[in-house]
Structure 1
Amino acid sequence: MTSASPAHPVRLVLASRSPARLALLRAAGVDPVVRVSDVDEDAVVTSLGPGVAHTVVVTELATAKAEVIADAVAAEPEFAVGTVVIVGCDSMLSIGGSLVGKPHDVDTARNRWSVMAGSAGELLTGHCVLRLDDGRITARAARHSGTVVRFGTPDPDDLEAYLASGEPLAVAGAFTLDGLGGWFVDGIDGDPSSVVGLGLPLVRRLLAEVNVGISALWAGRGGDT
């Protein structure tokens, strides 16, 4: 059971350090407060046990991030009164039967691209929305979105230049849609914002489940980032 729709502007807290997610929300008319969870992702995945569906992994990671930030926000005086929504996300690429996240180093990214080039994978993003009223969680909703990404085959010199840029090292699947990696994406089947890292259509539906309308977030623009 969710709480009634808030009568006043709602503040949105983004539980992510991703500049792409922040830019996406700002372009959509929401200026969120940013808090970084620093969740031990490996520990969360290990706790799920072997053989867990890829969709469950990303959703549980997103939920863990949102819950950590909800606990922190609830202790902050500025959030003690009123309605706040926490949005947590986690993106990974499901390809060739494996679920892969950020490569972190050039060799790993190069190996990823040897599989991705000329192939297709599904970019999975888990989303969790928590609603807090007067510092207490009153409603929650979580699901995943999946978008098929069809990769081109980069020229070897172009791929090496892309790897040297550093961009693919810190993003799920070693590619971006909205950056340099966009040159090497032949097409997608699904929601482009989800590939960027936060699916606006799905988040809209999750917000509706916790009785928060988009217009309430627009009215609450101006959050401290």
Structure 2
Amino acid sequence: MRFVLASQSPARLAVLKAAGISPDVLVSGVDEDALVASLVDPTPQRIVEVLARAKAEAVDVVEGVVVGCDSMLLTADGRVHGKPKTREVAERRWREQAGTTATLLTGHAVIRKDADGVRTAVAHEATLVRFGTPTEAELQAYLDSGEPLEVAGAFTLDGRGGWFVDGIDGDHTSVIGISLPLTRRLLHSVGITLSDLW
């Protein structure tokens, strides 16, 4: 069965490959900002689920399974942060989140297309992240690396940002970008078992 990852995230791809699946990668090209702006009073959980579903639906696959994901960081004050995209925004976020605990939300959508039609399952995973406090030199070096600019919450768990995460409560693969346990459950709900994919 064809397995498609609707994401350009190398971290998501690496998680799947390490878990025995080598997906085709097709980037969805969804305008995330426009889609979020079109939602009426959404919860943070709904935002990541809607974005994940839109990414999976945007990929043109005739038959097979498509997985879309989206992650955002929910801070203790209720704000949601995606990719900072600029050094200035990433630095501001790190100065606010250092030494705090926040929730990384990752929306997941699984779409199965075959002769029987289209089946879709959508959910999200929430993982608490306890941030450490980098020194000024460490923060500037991390920002210089460019890594935090293109990842939700301006950090990674599996890269340089992992030095500044004191711990997590929940699924580490979800923080990396795709929850293996949740994806397995969503695959089951559309009639696919791992043995179909390995």
TM-score by length of 1: 0.86
Correspondence for 1:104:
85
Q: Does 1:201 align with 2:191?
A: no
Q: Judge conservation of contact 1:130–1:137 (CA < 8 Å) in 2.
A: no
Instruction: From 49, 66, 74, give the equivalent of 2:40.
Output: 49
- Return the letter of the residue paired with 2:189: E
What is the alpha-carbon distance in structure 2 between the residues aligned to residue 148 and residue 175 of structure 1? 14
- Return the letter of the residue paired with 2:30: V
Correspondence for 1:173:
153
Correspondence for 2:125:
145
- SS at 1:87's partner residue? strand
RMSD of aligned Cα (Å): 1.0
Alignment deviations for residues 20-50 of structure 1 (CA, whole Å, 9 cap, x no partner): 0001000000000000001011111111123
TM-score by length of 2: 0.97
Q: Report how far residue 137 of structure 1 moved.
A: 4.2
- SS at 2:47's partner residue? helix
- The unaligned stretches of length 5 or more in structure 1 are 1-9, 219-225
Q: Does 1:68 align with 2:58?
A: yes
Instruction: State the structure with bigger RCO (CA 8 A, min sep 6), 1 or 2.
Output: 1
Alignment deviations for residues 88-126 of structure 1 (CA, whole Å, 9 cap, x no partner): 000000012110000111110000001110001000000
What is the alpha-carbon distance in structure 1 between the residues aligned to residue 144 and residue 39 of structure 2? 35
Q: Report how far residue 57 of structure 1 moved.
A: 0.3
What is the alpha-carbon distance in structure 2 between the residues aligned to residue 38 and residue 61 of structure 1? 11
Count of residues in correspondence between the two structures: 197
Q: Judge conservation of contact 1:117–1:151 (CA < 8 Å) in 2.
A: yes
- SS at 2:61's partner residue? helix
Kindly report structure 1 stretches of 4+ aligned residues shifted beyond 2 Å: none
- Return the letter of the residue paired with 2:129: V
- Return the letter of the residue paired with 2:3: L
What is the alpha-carbon distance in structure 2 between the residues aligned to residue 181 and residue 46 of structure 1? 29
Q: Does 1:23 align with 2:20?
A: no
- SS at 2:22's partner residue? coil
Correspondence for 1:216:
196
- SS at 1:139's partner residue? strand
Q: Does 1:154 align with 2:134?
A: yes
